[in-house]
């Protein structure tokens, strides 16, 4: 587990795990991959909330891209409440093209049509998920939420991020921290 202090580096490449008492129902049991975290704010993608309303093959057809045989293997997630019409592909770092943000040595983020075409024809990344929308925080906001006991942080790994058992990701992320869920409190303690 990463402990946040006033001199801690930023959390890009980590997971946020919602505490059981998360007051915002949009983030209840959410696991969020942090793509960017600077002094100017943070941006992350919820990785365990499926969008059952649309599939990747349907979306590709809407974009006039012929869905290939691999399109059915890729889930579509609701990445957060901000700009839900905007799409991102969170993927393994084996795929890097113009417009790709390499977050760490395992994961990258691309928001171009080119990656959708590459996924459709089978030349895309080995692992990926399409995410619509994102979660965003202003300067210092995420740090304050962590200090107020809203989130736990854990280093991300590709196995957890791309796990197809979305209902279990929250518990798996907590398990990675070695935390017994019954011992978690939703109130912050300050000395």
Q: What is the pLDDT of residues 154-171, one digit of tens each?
A: 999 999 999 989 989 999
Q: What is the pLDDT of residues 123-135, one digit of tens each?
A: 999 999 999 999 9
Phi, psi of 109, rounded to the nearest 5 degrees: -135, 130
The CATH number of the structural domain formed by 14-183 is 3.40.1740.10
Q: Is the pTM of this model over 0.95?
A: no
Q: What is the pLDDT of residue 68?
A: 79
Q: What is the pLDDT of residue 53?
A: 84
Q: What is the pLDDT of residue 182?
A: 60
Residues of the chain with pLDDT under 70: 1-9, 180-191
Q: What is the pLDDT of residue 95?
A: 95
State the number of CA atoms in the 13 A half-sphere of 143 facing the CB: 15
| Of residues 39, 3, 13, the one with CA closest to residue 138 | 39
């Amino acid at each position: 587990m990463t402990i946040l202090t006033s001199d801690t580096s930023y959390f890009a490449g980590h997971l946020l795990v919602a505490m059981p008492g998360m007051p915002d129902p949009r983030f209840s049991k959410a696991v969020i991959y942090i793509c960017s975290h600077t002094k100017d704010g943070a941006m992350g993608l919820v990785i365990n909330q499926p969008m059952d309303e649309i599939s990747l093959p349907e979306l590709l057809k809407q974009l006039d891209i012929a869905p290939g045989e691999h399109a059915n293997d890729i889930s579509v997630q609701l990445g957060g409440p901000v700009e839900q019409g905007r799409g991102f592909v969170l993927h393994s770092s084996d795929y890097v093209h113009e417009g790709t943000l390499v977050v760490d040595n395992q994961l990258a983020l691309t928001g171009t049509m080119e990656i959708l075409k590459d996924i459709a024809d089978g030349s895309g990344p080995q692992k990926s998920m399409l995410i619509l929308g994102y979660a965003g925080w202003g300067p210092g906001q995420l740090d304050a939420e962590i200090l107020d006991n809203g989130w736990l942080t854990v280093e991300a790994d590709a196995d957890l991020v791309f796990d197809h058992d979305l209902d279990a990701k929250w518990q798996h992320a907590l398990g990675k921290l070695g935390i017994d869920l019954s011992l978690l409190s939703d109130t912050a303690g300050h000395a």
